Amino acid sequence: MSHSPDDPERRRAAPAFTLIELLVVISVVALLISLILPALGQARSTAHDIRCGANLRQVDVALGGYLTDEAGTIFWRGNQTWVGDPWTAGMDWYVYGGRETGNHPGLQGNFFNRLRPRPLNSHVGGAFELFRCPYDRLDWNWAGFEAHFEWVGNSYLFNTYGYPGGPRDGGLAGVDVSRVAAPSLTLVFMDASLVRSPGSWHRDAMGTLAFLDGHVQLRQLPGPSDDDGIAWNP
């Protein structure tokens, strides 16, 4: 006796997945996921790199507007005879732009909340997020802050006195831009991950650098001199 397609007995007779077949399917899916995840991670890193570079290009554009208003003088310099003055009165690494309130309240005489407005903020229309690196995080617990931006209001440092860790007798703070011999080689802003927490934010121990002519590079920390094609001083 034949059965109709809708007959219950016919439906019960339909073959089902065996345990081995199910395990094979699960293995194939796991393999596909293992192949896709690295590509997704790379795509995400590439997107972060692009956004970080775009941030610093905009910050460089803002600096150009500031220089037009300030007759070409790049911010200001503190009294270098006193080691603390660049951090409480001169232009330090961070307060040229970024978030003006809610930063660490005790550092440098509350400098990160005290200097308002920060010079470049009016030139970016108050878009503080331009000063936040998309990779930004702190690798140590500092008063409960999870990101460098949350700590000081900025993820990018200004070349205030030259090579980090070197003598404070160089850099671009208070410099007349017309004195800069090679703007395309002179570093003006850089990702703080390269100094504060080397290699921990960006992939491959790299960070974004911005130059006085407006171009940016993604690379590792440059050296203290222009031997590698990058200048810290005018």
**Terminal alpha carbon distance of the chain:** 98
Give residue-wise pLDDT tens across range 23-64.
666 766 666 666 655 655 565 677 878 899 999 999 999 999
Residues 157, 94 contacting (CB under 8 angstroms):
yes
pTM as predicted:
0.78
Percent with pLDDT over 90 in the chain: 43
Give the 3-state DSSP-derived string for the chain, with helices as H, strands as E and coil as C.
Answer: CCCCCCCHHHHHCCCCCCHHHHHHHHHHHHHHHHHHHHHHHHHHHHHHHHHHHHHHHHHHHHHHHHHHHCCCEECCCCCCCCCCHHHHCCCCCCCCCCCCCCCCCCHHHHHHHHCCCCCCHHHHCCCHHHHCCCCCCCCCCECCECCHHHHHCCCEEECCCCCCCCCCCCCCCCEEHHHCCCCCCEEEEEEHHHCCCCCCCCHHHCEEEEECCCCEEEECCCCCCHHHCCECCC
β-pair partners for 209: 190, 217
Average pLDDT over the chain reads 81
State yes or no: pLDDT of 6 exceeds 60: no
Distance (Å) of CA 107 to CA 37, 104, 151, 190: 41, 6, 10, 21
State yes or no: pLDDT of 226 exceeds 60: no
Give residue-wise pLDDT tens across range 61-93.
999 999 999 999 999 987 765 555 666 778 889
**The predicted structure's pLDDT at residue 187:** 95
**The predicted structure's pLDDT at residue 95:** 94
Give residue-wise pLDDT tens across range 170-205.
899 999 999 999 999 999 999 988 886 655 677 788
